[in-house]
A and B are shown apart, each in its own frame.
Chain A
Amino acid sequence: MLEEIKSLRKAPEEEYYVPGHRTCAGCGPALQYRLVAKAAGPNTIFLGPTGCMYVANTSYGCGPWAVPWIHTQITNGGAVASGIEAAYKAIIRKKKTDAEFPNIIVMAGDGGSSDIGLQALSAAFYRGHNILFIAYDNESYANTGIQTSPTTPYGAWTTFSPAGPVIPEGKKLMPKDLPKMMAHGHPELKYLATASLSYPLDLMNKVRKGLNAEGPAFLYIHAPCPKGWSFPADKTIEMGKLAVETGMFQLYELHEGQYKLTYQPKEIKPVEEYIKLQGRFSHLQPEHIQKLQQFANGRLKEVGIEVSVPAQ
């Protein structure tokens, strides 16, 4: 059992995601990785489906994890994790090892979870493997140079959704809601939560709850990306906070069939305050911003947060 971390002072000093990686300065996904590793501790195996957190961390035949790590294809994080879990179950039962059953954590990007990796993810949860699957959402295929993924917001510029005279808003589609897909229809699911790197204690405790659950746990972590979203490297934490404060991202958990909001902003700010700081939205016209406001309001309503910024 991993204990609840009551304050920053009580957070483990030890790092298992150590310094020395090629992620960009101010990288959100790197920060959340560090928090996850810190919360999970030494009895952990990480799986790295192809994505930023594989490429930028392991370049040149090395990597920054003090615990075991294995690469998986971008397609199959859930399936490889299932295999690791099944193997440990079998070889412990058959007394072929004296190792303890480890924490098995998949660290998949939004593409490796909501898009090409969805089949393997869903199958692992259907089968009930005792794993923690983390989707760190930086809202694009960033490692390949920022292409739209299913979780890229409406209106965001990416190299596959550029804004132009014919398509003035850039990305035309609304994003897929992966946590909702995972929450409904996987009867073996034991724990599900969303988290943000801007709320580190909440994030680390959700990691621990997910690992303590005897069965599949899903954690969806919002991880701002200075390069892909085009904002200064020192604004990563602020961007994560603004996403929550404007209703573009919500923090909740689903445990034993009950949804619970884990953080509720005192006052909801207009989405414009969030998007005006990001170059990827700089081309948006007022009517596009209204659509994003409608999107945020819809998501807020869904989780039971009062909508205070009207959308036209």
Chain B
Amino acid sequence: MGVVKRISGCVATATAVKLADVDVICSYPIRPYTGIMSELARMVADGELDAEFVYGEGEHGQLSVVYGASASGARTFTGSSGVGVTYAMEVYSPISGERLPVQMAIADRTLDPPGDFGSEHTDALCCRDQGWIQGWAATPQEALDMTLMYYRIGEDPRVLLPQYACQDGYFVSHILGEVDIPEAAKVKEFLPPYKNHHVLDVRTPQIIGAQMEPKMGPGMQYQRYQAIEGSRKVIEEVHDEFGRLFGRKYNPWVEEFMTDDAEVALFIQGGHAETAKTVVRRLRNLGEKVGLVRLRTFRPFPTQQVRDALSKFKVVGTVDNSVNFGISGAAGVLLTEARTAMYGMGDKIPTVGFVAGLGGEMITHDEFYKMFMKLKEIAKAGKADKENYWLPFEL
């Protein structure tokens, strides 16, 4: 049995990194993810974790260091927040292109402006299509479990892809939650040592990342496409095995909350779902048929599972905690992804986008309440008068 502790999302992630016996860590300070690195630095200084702790010269450097380390056969960890995530943009595609399963924790922060410390998913969503596995944890427990599962998924020889393990800044990264910390021996059983056959080793000399000619381009991209599409099966297997070994069974794709017989539902990802759940519970007590679907894995996007989950409602509202100026539907990525998933279902289910919690503002109970009331209104009218609502100004 593991030990149960009250720890933050940052400490939960760092604890998982230690359990994963990571070899090379590269740091650079930016709030709020810094808490993960400070905890890891302490573990290394105290002798709890044997790893090279490299002071990155910036996020671009961080991702570059783990690129080299992973290509040399080391298990690696790095992380960032906000503008740090976008500063490293150049390196994400080479990492997935070389099929190096590095892991990066992202504790979300807004980009500039507004330049505050608040959480917003915009940072991690900016780099969503680079061939990385990506998903959001809603609690510290999930942050720990996700870190372990992502290493296992990414390092699977059928996958070999890097992973963004995301958590909302502050709301998850800095708020304590009860976390069941698994035993090291059990983690060892779950997570075998990292092995990669295309590594830098003078005994088996290889040329990694040679420039290709255009006729090789489509095939190279197709390989990455096959890898991320093929990861779906591995993601399910790993979640099953994790559930068997540690007793925490997650649906890898979506978490449904009080969706039985629900007429309207919100589609959301990340820690704000926990606030929304309390509103769902209260509304249920008042006899309202409302529910919530939380997306757990964003890349690869679980099109079929989202379609199945959302098709039973009369109206779906998406909650986007990011800015996507000029996007189709004028709300955010979740709205467009949900609509794409639901397109062609035959039945027309109105979808409406809510943009909320920008700049790190809380999405309050009252705001979730207003969203559900708007969904009810649309359900009654059979159509929406507007396809998106920016909170708090438009609702």
Contacts and interface: CB of A to CB of B under 8 A. Distances in A.
A–B proximity contact (CB within 8 A):
yes
Interface of A: 42-45, 47, 54-55, 58-63, 65-73, 75-76, 79-91, 93-94, 96-97, 99-100, 102, 119-120, 122-123, 126-127
B206 interface: yes
Nearest to B201: A99
A73 B91 contact: yes
Interface string B204-218: 011111111100100
Given A58-B211, A73-B91, A91-B23, A80 B64 contact: yes
20 contacts: A59-B213, A60-B211, A67-B202, A70-B209, A71-B210, A76-B61, A79-B57, A80-B64, A82-B64, A83-B67, A83-B71, A86-B24, A86-B52, A86-B65, A90-B50, A94-B23, A94-B50, A119-B58, A120-B64, A123-B56
B264 interface: no
A119 to B, nearest CB: 6
A85 B71 CA distance: 11
B392 interface: no
Contacts of A70: 68, 71, 200, 207-209
B177 interface: no
Contacts of B74: 86-87, 90-91, 96
B375 interface: no
Contact of A66 (B24, B64, B205): B205
Contact of B69 (A55, A87, A93, A126): A87
B79 to A, nearest CB: 15
B72 A84 contact: yes
Given A68-B208, A70-B68, A127 B73 contact: no
Interface of B: 23-24, 26, 50-52, 54-58, 60-61, 64-74, 76, 90-91, 94, 193, 200-203, 205-213, 216
A200 to B, nearest CB: 24
B206 A79 contact: no
A87 B64 CA distance: 13
Nearest to A72: B64
A75 B90 contact: yes
A72 B58 CA distance: 16
B95 to A, nearest CB: 11
B40 to A, nearest CB: 14
Contacts of B54: 82-83, 86, 127
